[in-house]
Amino acid sequence: MYAIIEACGRQYKVQEGETVYFEKLDENEGKKVSFDKVVLISNDGKIQVGNPYVANAKVEGKVVSNGKSKKILVFKYKPKKNERKTRGHRQDYTKVEITSIKVKAEKAEKPAAEKTEKAEKKEKAAK
């Protein structure tokens, strides 16, 4: 079973027990996190696609750690001008372990028109 969720402006494919790196979330280590924006769920070959999100679906996880990724160096250079700039950037991330993917089954309600037709048939049969 896997799901595609939308978080931090991106889409991630997640499975139960998997560890995923998200952009910085405002949660402390050990806290539980839930993602309601589930775009797709695949369960034993059955695929549910949302419009835009799957109704009554939730992905839950636990924050393992917060940190920074490796430094990326940016070097700007203009020839013959003696102009050189070196900048560095480290992106913040949150490491999350996915604990569960939940989908609540929707109750199938019969439309009101079908109920009235059946009631009419029963009345005719009773007469």
Q: Give tens-digit pLDDT for 87-127.
A: 999 999 999 999 999 998 766 555 555 656 777 777 777 76
20 pLDDT above the threshold of 90: yes
> At a CB cut-off of 8 Å and minimum separation 6, what does 78 contact?
84
The percentage of residues in the chain with a pLDDT greater than 90, rounded to a whole number, is: 78
- Mean pLDDT confidence for 56-60: 95
Task: Confirm whether 100 is domain-assigned.
Answer: yes
25 pLDDT above the threshold of 70: yes
Task: Confirm whether 118 is domain-assigned.
Answer: no
Task: Confirm whether 50 is domain-assigned.
Answer: yes
Task: Confirm whether 125 is domain-assigned.
Answer: no
CB 4 within 8 A of CB 38: yes
**Residue 108 neighbours by CB distance under 10 Å:** 5
CB 93 within 8 A of CB 69: yes
Task: Confirm whether 76 is domain-assigned.
Answer: no
Q: What angle do CA 117, 121, 124 make, to 5 degrees?
A: 140
Task: Confirm whether 26 is domain-assigned.
Answer: yes
Task: Confirm whether 34 is domain-assigned.
Answer: yes
Task: Confirm whether 12 is domain-assigned.
Answer: yes
The residue segments making up the domain with residue 48 are: 2-67+94-106
3 pLDDT above the threshold of 90: yes
Band of the pLDDT at 28, cuts 50, 70, 90?
A: very high
Number of domains in the chain: 1
